[in-house]
Amino acid sequence: MKKTAFLFAGQGAQKVGMGKDLAAQFPLAKDLFAHANQILGYDLTGICFEGPEAELTKTENAQPAIFLVGWIAFQLLRQRLPELKFDATAGLSLGEFTALAAAGSMSFEDGLRLVWRRGRFMQEACEATRGGMAAIIALDEAATREVCLEAGVELANLNCPGQLVISGETEKIAIACELAKKRGAKKAMPLTVTGAYHSRLMASAQPKLRVELAQVEFSPPRVSVISNVTAAPHGTPDEIQARLVDQVTSSVRWEESMRYLLAQGFTRFVELGPGTALNSTLKRIDERAQRLNIADVASLEAAVAVLDG
């Protein structure tokens, strides 16, 4: 039997209109959108469905919105295929919270509140600093680390071969991009983000998040949940909370996380939530892996047809 992992999208995957057709067709999705509005006390559903894009892109909205749509995709899949087994979960940055909720480590309600507050704390950190990020294409990790050291920035995301992301002060990111090009990077391009995520510039968010995490009851995950920080399965509830605090300023070791699952015999990966970025990175890590995604009605039906077969 194939070993299946569920993957959950991270910030940047948001898109105006996400989840709208799911809510129109499935009462479960409609109810979850309404429940999220009630939990948060504002119309997150309207922002997901209608935008404007600038409002959805705000970290404090994007994070709960992506968490919510990923959770809805997960619940709809379970509704359609209640006997479907999965053996591990993983999520990119904020997607790790969805992965933990899907594995039974915390409730949907607690997860939604946490990512909303995490988003607010990170937005505050962005506003207090002058930071940015850049994608470094086709430069190996060792050379990129040298560039980071020389420019005074940090390696934020190790997504897949040839695709790394750096993070730090805006002026230093510009210097790092020029250095990367001189060292042979095919592209070194600043990203349209509001701050320097997964760098020391996010440190002010950590103590606030630690307080929020301490108020949530975590359980041991029912399946393996791969940590962004360690690229290995999470441990005890206390360790989970500690790693989620670390994650705010640590590198996202996504390629290592996928290689860990591949080495454990996982051959089928289902991306849940908006976009297909995680499938794209997985293809570059191992194009033999079976990749499915659920982001809307069409992709849900296509995934169900394959998984039910």
Q: What's residue 277's pLDDT?
A: 96
Q: Are residues 134 and 259 in the same domain?
A: no
Mean pLDDT value across residues 36-53: 98
- Position 222 in a domain: yes
Residue 104 has pLDDT above 90, yes or no: yes
- Position 195 in a domain: no
Confidence of residue 194 (pLDDT cuts 50, 70, 90): confident
Q: What's residue 263's pLDDT?
A: 98
Q: Are residues 299 and 217 in the same domain?
A: yes
Say how many domains are in the chain. Answer: 2
72 CB neighbour count, 10 Å cutoff? 26
- Position 258 in a domain: yes
Question: How many Å apart are CA 71 and CA 75, to the nearest integer?
Answer: 6
- Position 294 in a domain: yes
Q: Are residues 145 and 8 in the same domain?
A: no
- Position 136 in a domain: yes
Q: Are residues 42 and 105 in the same domain?
A: yes
Q: Are residues 209 and 185 in the same domain?
A: no
- Position 62 in a domain: yes
Q: Are residues 186 and 165 in the same domain?
A: yes
CATH of the domain at 103: 3.40.366.10
Q: Are residues 115 and 143 in the same domain?
A: no
Query: pTM score, two decimals?
Result: 0.97
- Position 102 in a domain: yes
Q: What confidence tens digit (pLDDT) does each residue in 208-266 have?
A: 999 999 999 999 999 999 999 999 999 999 999 999 999 999 999 999 999 999 999 99
Q: Are residues 184 and 211 in the same domain?
A: no
- Position 261 in a domain: yes
Task: Name residue 225's beta-bridge partners.
Answer: 89
Mean pLDDT value across residues 83-95: 97
Average pLDDT over the chain, rounded to an integer: 97
Residue 78 near residue 30, CB atoms below 8 Å: no
Question: How many Å apart are CA 58 and CA 30, to the nearest integer?
Answer: 23
Q: What's residue 49's pLDDT?
A: 98
Question: How many Å apart are CA 213 and CA 188, to the nearest integer?
Answer: 36
Confidence of residue 85 (pLDDT cuts 50, 70, 90): very high
Which stretches within the chain are classed as H helix? 20-25, 27-40, 44-50, 53-57, 59-80, 95-102, 108-128, 141-151, 170-182, 205-214, 237-247, 254-263, 277-285, 297-308
Domain with 167 in it: 130-190
Q: What confidence tens digit (pLDDT) does each residue in 105-141 have?
A: 999 999 999 999 999 999 999 999 999 999 999 999 9
Residue 139 near residue 184, CB atoms below 8 Å: yes
Q: What's residue 54's pLDDT?
A: 94
Domain end (from 166, 190, 214): 190
Catalytic residues: 93, 198
CATH of the domain at 175: 3.30.70.250
Q: What confidence tens digit (pLDDT) does each residue in 257-304 have?
A: 999 999 999 999 999 999 999 999 999 999 999 999 999 999 999 999
Question: How many Å apart are CA 4 and CA 23, to the nearest integer?
Answer: 26
Q: Are residues 78 and 137 in the same domain?
A: no
Contacts 24+ apart (CB under 8 A), 265-269: 265/3, 266/3, 266/4, 266/5, 266/87, 266/88, 267/2, 267/3, 268/2, 268/3, 268/4, 268/5, 268/292, 269/4, 269/5, 269/6, 269/7
Q: Are residues 171 and 236 in the same domain?
A: no
Residue 192 near residue 80, CB atoms below 8 Å: no
Mean pLDDT value across residues 57-85: 97
Q: What's residue 192's pLDDT?
A: 86
Q: Are residues 174 and 258 in the same domain?
A: no
Pick the most confident of 11-15, 35-39, 190-194: 35-39
Q: Are residues 114 and 228 in the same domain?
A: yes
Domain end (from 146, 165, 190): 190
